Structure 1
Amino acid sequence: MPTGGATLRMPERAGVGNAMLHLLTGDAFDAAEALRCHFVQKVVPAGKELDEAFRIAERIAAQAPQAVVATRLNVLKAIELGQAAAVADFIPVQQRLANSEDAAEGVRSFIEKRPARFTGR
């Protein structure tokens, strides 16, 4: 039996059929198969992994910090407590975010056609 939680995580990410195929056969799989099964989000050339990871991190860091945190927490809440719990947070969290300085900055930067300068407030 596989260890490390594979029997728990693989069906969630890859679907039961793909999980059973890989868990029961023990066959190795390449990057293309990992992408197809949703084990990874992206495939990049060998040696470029860190460059791509930093590029993605920089894109995320350029977003409004409160919105990034709220999005991450809502996704985790949906996974851990279910969709109803996540949906219950939509209106209060979106109201809080809409009243933030960063929301106003996002609108200003769009109107002025410039990159936003978010502060996390």
Structure 2
Amino acid sequence: MSVVVKRRGPALVMMIDRPAQRNAVNRTVSMAMAAALDELDADPALRVGIVTGAGGNFCSGMDLKAFVDGERPELEGRGFAGVTERGPAKPLIAAVEGYALAGGCELALACDLIVASETAVFGLPEAARGLVAGSGGLVRLRERIPPAIALEYALTAKRMDAATAQRWGLVNRLVPAGQALDAALTLAEEISANAPLSVAASKAIMAAAPDWPVAERWERQRPMVEAVLASDDAQEGARAFAEKRAPIWSGR
């Protein structure tokens, strides 16, 4: 099985299970990931997705042996690992141990949040292999850390250790080795405690806002905000606050 999918409370954990290949992605992995992400968005009981890897590494990128044999891991309309071009509507967390290199780094960057262990290593080494980080690495890294720093890493093909990644703001939470998945599950629980419509709207607005003209920001976000304010959950949240109890979200 190329990807092991398990439900952990409100989270759907998707573990790339090719440890002998350091979880390199082939087309089979991409198809399995795409199916799991469809499951995540389709099931209202699932609130957050977590992507991780087996055997102490996150993902070493594209399966180069499969590439030499003529196989491409990108899926039409979805990209590398079934996610880099079109992610889920629900929040996606990368739980990174060990290598997150090349396509593996791009996979982590395609996630909304990154939890990493102290052993994590990030990098875009494509230039050293005669390739280019065309699955979102060059686009997203400069959005997550200062552009000049991102450019240096892309041009030199150097690796970035976990502490440096956290210092630049790439990593949300840094934890001891072996604890990335547990920490990601804790973060997923924190997110899942909140109203699903509010979480979805917040992710959508923050993802789209950089492309909005400044003069149109309020107009662009207004219908998304109004839809949440008109929801049953908005009423439930207000009632729960007044009654000093935990809200019971319906997702409506």
User: If the length of structure 2 is used for normalisation, what is the TM-score?
Assistant: 0.43
1:73-84 alignment to 2 at 5 Å?
Answer: 73-79=204-210, 81-82=211-212, 84=214
Distance 1:28 1:91 in 2: 41
Q: Select which of 118, 122, 133 maps to 1:4.
A: 133
CA distance in 2, matches of 1:62, 1:41: 19
Once the 2 structures are TM-superposed, how far is the Cα of residue 95 of structure 1 from its aligned partner? 2.3
Aligned residues: CA RMSD: 2.1
1:86, CA displacement in angstroms? 4.8
Q: CA deviation at 1:77?
A: 1.6
Shift of 1:48: 1.0
Taking the aligned partners of 2:204 and 2:213, their CA distance within structure 1 comes to 12
Task: Report what 1:29 is aligned to.
Answer: 160
Change (3 A) 1:3 1:87: farther
Assess if the C-alpha contact under 8 Å between 2:212 and 2:220 holds in 1: no
Q: For residues 95 and 107 of structure 1, what CA distance do their matches in structure 2 show?
A: 16
What percentage of residue pairs aligned between the two structures are identical?
35
Whether contact under 8 Å (1:77, 1:86) holds in the other structure is: no
Superposed, 1:93-108 pairs within 5 Å as 93-108=224-239
| Count of residues paired in the alignment | 120
Q: Would you say the 8 A contact 2:196–2:251 is kept in 1? A: yes
Contiguous gaps of at least 5 residues in structure 1: none
Please identify which structure carries the higher strand content: 2
- Normalising to structure 1: TM-score of the pair? 0.82
SS of residue in 2 equivalent to 1:29: strand
Q: Could you tell me how far apart the structure 1 residues matched to 2:169 and 2:229 are? A: 33
